[in-house]
């Protein structure tokens, strides 16, 4: 049960935290989960962006035509998300993006792998993980700290057994260390 909270926390930190980065630096577009390859994106003209999107992406205006079409599409989608956020959501996204940039490259890679793993789960399993994460976040800080301490003291075998004893345990995170920071 403890592992699920930590796995969920790290996956959802990636999912909710880093998926909503500011429009000036959104993550690369995620490949579709379907087996059939998606058609190649077509270049997007700067003039096709709304004035609000152009303002949000102004730092990319000079290089826009030289960007790959998939990067243009990702930036356009990111700017749409950014513009739909409340000021509070934007502040949170900026904070998470700053945390992302401060991470060492190996930790970013682990987060990308966890995000991909989360995205590969069936929708009902993703929902279960979100619910577990939300329950963890609603716990008193003392209880969360207690669970983190218990997790740190477990051997890898104990962690594996704890995960396997849960109904619908997530697939093992091969080669990925437990999260270094679980959001409060």
Taking 90 as the threshold, does the pLDDT of residue 102 lie above it? yes
**Could you give the CA distance from residue 95 to residue 112 in angstroms, rounded to a whole number?**
18
**Per-residue pLDDT averaged across 168-180, rounded?**
47
Q: Which pLDDT band holds residue 160 (cuts at 50, 70, 90)? A: confident
Q: Which two tokens stand for residue 132?
A: 């577990």
For residues 25 and 112, which has the higher predicted lDDT (pLDDT)?
Answer: 112
Query: What b-and-e string marks burial along 12-38, b requiring 16 or more CB atoms within 10 Å of the CB?
Result: bbbbebbbbbbbbebbebeeeeeeeee
Which residue's entry shows tokens 């926390």? Answer: 9
Q: Model-level pTM greater than 0.85?
A: no
Taking 50 as the threshold, does the pLDDT of residue 120 lie above it? yes
Integer CA distances (angstroms), 14 to 21, 26, 56, 147, 153, in order: 11, 13, 23, 21, 24
Taking 50 as the threshold, does the pLDDT of residue 31 lie above it? no
pLDDT in the model for residue 131: 92
């Amino acid at each position: 049960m403890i592992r699920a909270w930590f796995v969920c926390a790290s996956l959802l930190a990636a999912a909710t935290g880093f998926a909503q980065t500011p429009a000036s630096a959104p993550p690369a577009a995620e490949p579709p989960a379907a087996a059939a390859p998606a058609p190649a994106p077509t270049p997007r003209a700067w003039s096709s962006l709304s004035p609000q999107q152009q303002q949000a992406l102004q730092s990319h205006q000079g290089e826009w035509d030289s960007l790959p079409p998939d990067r243009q599409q990702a930036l356009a989608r990111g700017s749409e998300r950014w513009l739909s956020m409340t000021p509070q959501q934007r502040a949170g996204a900026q904070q998470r993006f700053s945390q992302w940039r401060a991470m060492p490259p190996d930790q970013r890679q682990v987060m990308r792998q966890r995000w991909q793993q989360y995205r590969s789960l069936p929708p009902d399993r993703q929902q279960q993980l979100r619910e577990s994460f939300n329950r963890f976040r609603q716990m008193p800080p003392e209880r969360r700290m207690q669970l983190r301490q218990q997790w740190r003291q477990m051997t890898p075998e104990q962690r594996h057994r704890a995960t396997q004893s849960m109904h619908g345990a997530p697939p093992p995170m091969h080669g990925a260390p437990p999260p270094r920071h679980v959001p409060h």
